[in-house]
Amino acid sequence: MLVSAKEMLDKAKAGHYAVGQFNINNLEWTKAILLTAEECKSPVILGVSEGAGKYMTGFKTVAAMVKAMDESLGITVPVALHLDHGTYDGTKACIEAGFTSVMFDGSSYNIDENVAKTKELVELAHKNGISIEAEVGAIGGEEDGVVGAGECADPDECKMVADLGVDMLAAGIGNIHGVYPDNWAGLSFETLDAIQQKTGSMPLVLHGGTGIPDDMIAKAIDLGVSKINVNTECQLVFAEETRKYIEAGKDKQGKGFDPRKLLAPGTEAIKAKVKEKMELFGSVGKA
């Protein structure tokens, strides 16, 4: 069932668990995540970066595919189709294309411009019944070619943006997209605690979920994180299982070259990874 992310995140915040956002790249990814959410009776958020949207030939294609697949598979759990790290124009395009949730990432602007643009997009999203995420303080690492240093957000600026009526807030707390470097300092729980105290019941979003140790995830949820984004980990297990299949020469046995066979081990690996994360985040059985 395609829905805005608001209700599922408000419930997660109140219930002290987190909903996973898993990024999609194609049909296999989408199907794997939807089937796992249904099996786990868990709400889920499908994340689409602007780059992935372009790869899938545009936001309209993505919205049509997800809507049709959700119906064809008879998915009963709440599913939000969410733009990940949207630009100003990309956010508007997704609202138009039929996404049920968007993220406007204004973190590269100064705070006044971030506030002004976020405010405008909150009104537009809400007019269309769509939930909206905003960002304060850049998340480190590379996302669609944009490289951030991973700064910690200013809790006062977080409050300014939360007060605009956004439905969820991503705030940098030392988290990084992609695999964490060996010398990573870990999450700043001091910053997270200060942000949570300033923003109250606002669901907080933890980006860069790949590779964060389980105990840090638990503590982050404890301190108000209600949405956790995972992308790279699904890509890594998909690549790993696909490589094993080819290295074992299975594509050369019978009709093993059929894409439905070739992509099956990677797709199964995504399912297992998504299930593992849903269990870790505490969202199983919460649909």
Catalytic annotation, residues: 84
- Within residues 71-90, the interface with ligand 13P by CB under 6 A covers 84-85
CB of 248 to ligand 13P, least distance (A): 28
Q: Which residues are within 8 A (CB) of 4 and not within 5 positions of it... i.e. 6 or more apart?
A: 80, 100, 101, 129, 130, 131, 167
Looking at the Cβ atoms of 55 and 262, the one nearer to ligand 13P is: 55
CB of 70 to ligand 13P, least distance (A): 21
| Residue choice 13, 31, 82, 177 for contact with ligand 13P (CB under 6 A) | 177
Q: Coil, helix or strand for 137?
A: coil
Quote the strand ranges of 164-244, DSSP E.
168-171, 204-206, 225-230
Residue with tokens 């790949």, as numbered in its chain: 210
- Within residues 44-63, the interface with ligand 13P by CB under 6 A covers 47
- Within residues 191-250, the interface with ligand 13P by CB under 6 A covers 207-210, 229-233
Q: Coil, helix or strand for 276?
A: helix
CB of 233 to ligand 13P, least distance (A): 6
Q: Coil, helix or strand for 263?
A: coil
- From the list 178, 211, 212, the residue with the least C-alpha distance to 192 is 212
Looking at the Cβ atoms of 84 and 245, the one nearer to ligand 13P is: 84
Q: Which residues are within 8 A (CB) of 234 and not within 5 positions of it... i.e. 6 or more apart?
A: 22, 23, 29, 270, 273, 274
Q: Is 286 in the site for ligand 13P (CB under 6 A)?
A: no
Q: What CA–CA distance (Å, rounded) separates 41 from 21?
A: 15
CB of 50 to ligand 13P, least distance (A): 11
Residue-wise burial string across 237-255, b where 16 or more C-beta atoms lie within 10 A, e elsewhere: bbeebbeebeeeeebeeee
- Provide the token pair at 64: 């049509």
| Residue choice 51, 98, 165, 178 for contact with ligand 13P (CB under 6 A) | 178
Looking at the Cβ atoms of 14 and 149, the one nearer to ligand 13P is: 149
Q: Is 19 in the site for ligand 13P (CB under 6 A)?
A: no
- 203 contacts 13 by C-beta, under 8 angstroms: yes
Looking at the Cβ atoms of 13 and 82, the one nearer to ligand 13P is: 82
- Could you list the residues that contact ligand 13P (CB under 6 A)? 23, 47, 84-85, 177-178, 207-210, 229-233
